[in-house]
Amino acid sequence: MKSFSGLDLTGIEVDIAVNDLEIIADNLVERVFFNLCDNSLKHGGKVSRIMISAFEERGVLLLVFQDNGFGIPPTAKTEIFNRGYGKNTGLGLFMVREILGITGIFIRETGLEGEGVRFEMVVPAGCFRYVTSRDRSKGPS
């Protein structure tokens, strides 16, 4: 996944299970995955695995980013998306929420503290589709 370029993923198992999925969204969505991965590496502590998966639920797509790091305390689950929250600039997850919001994608953190983060991005119906490799080679229509 090219959105991870520039990150040191040495010793990290990355499992991406979103084959044949195309999300119709702003080009900055790649930045979302960079920021989520960067946060895992910087704040997750013992992260050794990052997983990205997707599945449909009640007509929407749940796009899931998770790791096996420290996780987020329940008291911080909504605050993490506020501008200025955190140890550094406090822009990372704020920007993630704003970028996703441009195309109507909602994000929430549902992981368990001590077991890792689990960011669920709810992609509305009509904003995603499944394509074959042949369809992808044609480019967007």
CATH of residue 119's domain is 3.30.565.10
Does residue 98 fall inside a structural domain? yes
Per-residue pLDDT at 94: 92
**Could you tell me if residue 3 is inside a domain?**
no
pTM, two decimal places: 0.87
* 5 domain-assigned: no
Long-range CB contact pairs, 57-60, < 8 A, 24+: 59/125, 60/122, 60/123, 60/124, 60/125
* Average pLDDT score over the chain: 88
Close Cβ partners of 98 (under 8 Å, ≥ 6 residues apart): none
**Is 4 contained in some domain?**
no
Say if 136 falls within a structural domain. no
Residue 72, pLDDT > 90, answer yes
Number of domains in the chain: 1
CA-CA distance, 13 to 47, in Å (whole number)? Answer: 9
What per-residue confidence (pLDDT) applies to 133? 60
Mean predicted confidence (pLDDT) in 47-76: 96
Q: Which structural domain range is residue 64 located in?
A: 13-131
Task: State the pLDDT at residue 1.
Answer: 58
Whether residue 24 lies inside any domain: the answer is: yes
